[in-house]
Amino acid sequence: MPNIRVHKNNPQVEEAFVLDKQPAGEDSLYVRLLGKNRGKFVSIAGKARKSIKRFINGLEPFELVKIQYKKIKNSSNLFFLEQSKPIRFFERLTCFPKACFMGFLANELILKSLMDEEGANNVFGLYYDMLLALNAEPLKTKPMFMFMHELFKVIGIAPSLMECVKCGYIVSKEPFTLLSIEDGGAVCVKCRLNEESRYSLKLNQPISSILDDEIQLEKLVQFYVDFWQYRFNRPLHAWKGWISIKNEFGALL
């Protein structure tokens, strides 16, 4: 375990989701968490790869745990995780590829997006609701889309879907919708330019009616992934993984 000194005061206790984990030294782990109060933070779980007692279930992604942690001396952004107890595990996320990839996409979006403390607290509730929905049967794309849209609002980049980004005209009932990554959302018929390439997504039905259409919603999720990548100039790997698996094994999934 890396050499660290922990504050002597009482540990803090809260509920948190495990977002991911990586080895730290020979037997410890870096665990990135989304805490109900603290929001997103990094912790080090000392000897976690050996101590099943202190870290029941081994801190797997998507697990909701009750954690006990302390501040580390001379570090403001790394915490020492003393123990974790499982509260809830969303088992379908480990059994169904689509649910799993969507969960990892959500984790990747949270981990790679900057948000202030208040924003991160809101994301905890959104994330919880989304995992509950992904864990239910039948699996739908809607909760993932809703999560992305709300997360994008929190980080201040939500694309405009219902109103034209240029003139404010309500487009939600137009027979089809053109969305542009560069412009930041929907563009109405009057404001459209003649460059086809400017419009990254064409939905062949009114935007107000697509929330129950799986195929259109998947396209919209793809648009959100592209939109995020365009804004931050960083790749999102989880969705790409899902698309390539779907192309290869589509009929079997």
Give 162 or 167: the residue with its C-beta nearer to Zn ion.
167
Q: How far is the CB of 162 from Zn ion (least distance, A)?
A: 12
Fill in the per-residue mask, 154 to 173: x = in contact with Zn ion (CB under 5 A), - = not in contact: ----------x-xx-x----
Q: Using CA of residue 107, residue 109, residue 113, residue 115, what is the dihedral sign?
A: negative
Question: How many of the chain's residues bind Zn ion (CB under 5 A)?
Answer: 6
Q: How far is the CB of 164 from Zn ion (least distance, A)?
A: 3
Give 89 or 169: the residue with its C-beta nearer to Zn ion.
169
Q: How far is the CB of 183 from Zn ion (least distance, A)?
A: 10
Read out DSSP for 178-224? Answer: EEETTTTEE--TTT--S-GGG--EEESS-GGG-TT-HHHHHHHHHHH
Q: How far is the CB of 207 from Zn ion (least distance, A)?
A: 14
Cβ atoms of 227 and 181 closer than 8 Å: yes
Give 38 or 166: the residue with its C-beta nearer to Zn ion.
166
Cβ atoms of 84 and 56 closer than 8 Å: yes
Q: Which two tokens stand for residue 213?
A: 């259409």
Q: Which stretch binds Zn ion (CB under 5 A): 33-41, 79-87, 98-106, 183-191?
A: 183-191
> What span, in angstroms and rounded, lies between the C-alpha atoms of 252 and 249?
5
Q: How far is the CB of 188 from Zn ion (least distance, A)?
A: 3
With a CB cutoff of 8 Å and minimum separation 6, the contacts of 4 are 44, 72, 73, 75, 78, 80
Give 27 or 163: the residue with its C-beta nearer to Zn ion.
163
Report, in angstroms and rounded to the nearest whole number, the Rg of the chain calculated over CA atoms.
21
Q: How far is the CB of 186 from Zn ion (least distance, A)?
A: 8
What SS3 state is found at 141?
coil
Q: Using CA of residue 52, residue 56, residue 61, residue 67, what is the dihedral sign?
A: negative
Distance of CA 217 to the CA centre of its chain: 17
Q: Which stretch binds Zn ion (CB under 5 A): 23-31, 130-138, 147-155, 180-188?
A: 180-188
Fill in the per-residue mask, 188 to 217: x = in contact with Zn ion (CB under 5 A), - = not in contact: x--x--------------------------
Task: Decide: is 93 part of the binding site for Zn ion (CB under 5 A).
Answer: no
Q: Which stretch binds Zn ion (CB under 5 A): 2-10, 109-117, 142-150, 186-194?
A: 186-194
Give 182 or 212: the residue with its C-beta nearer to Zn ion.
182
Q: Using CA of residue 159, residue 204, residue 142, residue 31, what is the dihedral sign?
A: negative
Q: How far is the CB of 166 from Zn ion (least distance, A)?
A: 4
Interface residues toward Zn ion, by CB under 5 A: 164, 166-167, 169, 188, 191
